[in-house]
Amino acid sequence: MSLPLTIEEAQAALRSGNVTSVELTDAALARIEALDERVGAFLEVNANARAQAEQADAELAAGTDRGPLHGIPFGLKDILATADQPTTANSLVLDPAWGAGYDSVVTERAREAGAVIMGKLVLSEFAIGAPDAEKPFPLPRNPWDLDRSASGSSSGTGIAVATGMVLGGIGTDTGGSVRGPASFNGHTGLKVTFGRVPKWGVTPLGYTLDSIGPMARSAWDCAAILNVIAGHDPRDATAATAPAEDYLDGIDRGIEGLRIGVPRAYFFDHPELEAGTKAAVEATIEKLATLGATVREVELPHSDVAKEANTLTMLSEALAYHRPDMGGARWSDYGSSTRMTIGRAALFSAADYVQAQRFRNWYATTAAQLMAEVDVLVVPTSPGIAPLSSEMADPARRIRQPSYTGPFNLLGYPALAIPAGFSEERLPYSAQIVGAPFAEALLLRVGHAYQQVTDWHRRVPPIVEESAT
C-alpha cells in the first residue's frame, strides 16, 4: 500500500477510510527503525506512539474529529517539555527535573489536536551548539548526503520530516533554526512572528528573539500545524494577544496581484552566495510572477549589520541564561561548540548590547516603511547547499558567511522557507518568503501557490527509497 506523503493527503485518507492512524504510525516506526541509526533524528522514541494511534482511530470511528493533525505522526524538538518523556535540550547540563511531569503549551495543543507524538527530536545543544561527537547524543546527518550538515538547531525535526519518520513537527527559530534545516533537508518550515506561538515550557535561547514554528513537507501542512499551535497563552509573557487566524482558510486563493519586493543588496550580491542558490531563487521569483505576482527591486539597507546585531543579541541573551552553569563547574559538561559560542558573549559589553538594540529599532522602522510598499520579500534561505559536516566545525565560517535568516529574527517578522530546486549534487535549494508581522496566512498562501505548480517539496532522499527495497 502506498502511504500518504503529506499531512494534507494523510488527513483526507484517514477520513475516507483508505488508511488508519495505526498504519501511518507503524510505517513511521518502521522508517525510524530502518534509518535513525544512520541519520540521528530521534533522542527518544515515544513508547506510547502506537497506543496514541489506536486511540485516534477509535475516536475518528466514533465521529470525534479533532482536525487535520488527528492521528498524524508528529515530532517535537527536545527543547519542549513533555509530561511523558524527559527533556534534555540535547545537553548534559539541563537539570533532569526541568520539564518533568508537564507539557509545554505547544505540546498540550498538539495532544489536544490528536497528533500522535512519535518522540523527542535531536537539536543543536540548547538550540545553538554544533554536534559534538564527545557527548552522548546522536549526531544528526543530512539524509540527502550523510557527510553533509542537516543544519540546526532543529536538525532532528528537519531530518524526521524529510525521511517520513514524522509527517510534521515542531522547531524553534532564534537565528534561522526552523528555516536552516528546512533548507538543507528539502522541506517547508515557517518562522512565525515573535509571540505568535507561546513559548511557555520551552528552554530559552534568546529571550527577545525566540519563536516556535511548524516544519512539514508543504505550506498546507505548516498551515494545519499553525492552526493548532498559534494563539495567546497567559503563561508566556511575550505571547501576542492578537487573535490567531484560520491559516487554511483562503490558502487556495492564489497570488494574482501580489507585490513582491526583491532586496538585491546583501541578499543577492554577497560574495559567499553560491551561483546555484542565486539562480534557484531567481527562478522561484519568476515562477511567482507567472502566477500573477508583480516583482520589483527594493532596498533593505544594512542587512549585513542586522546579521551581526541579531548574533550579538542572541549570544548575550543566551549567556544571561547560561552564566550560572557556564561560569561554574559545568563548563566542560557543555559541548565544545556550545560553550565557545555562548562564551563569546562574555567579551561583549553592555554598551555593545545597547548599540545592537538601537540599530534594531532603526532597522525595524526602515523595514516597516518597506513592507508598506510590498506584500512580501523573496530572498534565499541559505547562501548555499548543505556543506560538509567537517566544514561546519570551522569557527570562521559563521563569521564569514551572510545570514539570510537572522535579520528577520531581529525584526520579529514571519518567514517561510520552501524547497526551490536541486543542485547538481542532488542537494536541496531553498527560497525564503518574508512578510510583515502576523502575515503568516499570506506567506502560507504564497508558498502553497508555488507548490501547486512545482514538486520540489515532494522529493524524497534516496536513502528512504533504498531502505524500502
Task: Count Cβ neighbours within 10 Å for each residue of 8-35 and write b for 16 or more, e otherwise.
Answer: bbbbebbeeeebbbbbbbbbbbebbebb
CA 413 – CA 409 distance, rounded (Å): 6
| 77 is annotated as an active-site residue | yes
H helical segments located in 195-302: 219-229, 275-290
Q: Are strands 376-380 and 428-435 parallel, antiparallel or unpaired?
A: antiparallel
Element holding 105 (H helix, E strand): helix 105-112
Which set of grid coordinates corresponds to residue 390? 567537517
> Which of the residues 21, 77, 218, 403 is marked catalytic?
77
Distances (CA, A) of 128 to 37, 95, 396: 23, 18, 16
- Could you give the CA distance from residue 110 to residue 10 in angstroms, rounded to a whole number? 16
Active-site position among 21, 151, 177, 218? 177
Least Cα distance to 124 among 148, 153, 94 occurs for 153
Which one is catalytic: 104, 151, 153, 154?
153
Helix/strand/coil for 64: coil
Please give the single-letter amino acid code of residue 98: W
Coil vs helix vs strand at 314 = helix
Euclidean distance between CA atoms 363 and 354, whole angstroms: 14
* Bridge partners (DSSP) listed for residue 214: 170
Q: Which of 196, 221, 277 is nearest to 451 (CA)?
A: 221
Q: What are the strands of the beta sheet with 116-121, ordered from one edge?
A: 42-45, 116-121, 73-77, 168-173, 211-216, 188-191, 415-422, 428-435, 376-380, 259-263, 294-298
Which H/E stretch holds residue 389? helix 389-392
4 DSSP 8-state letter: P
Record the cell numbers describing residue 425, joined without a space.
Answer: 549534487
Which residues are known to be catalytic?
77, 153, 177
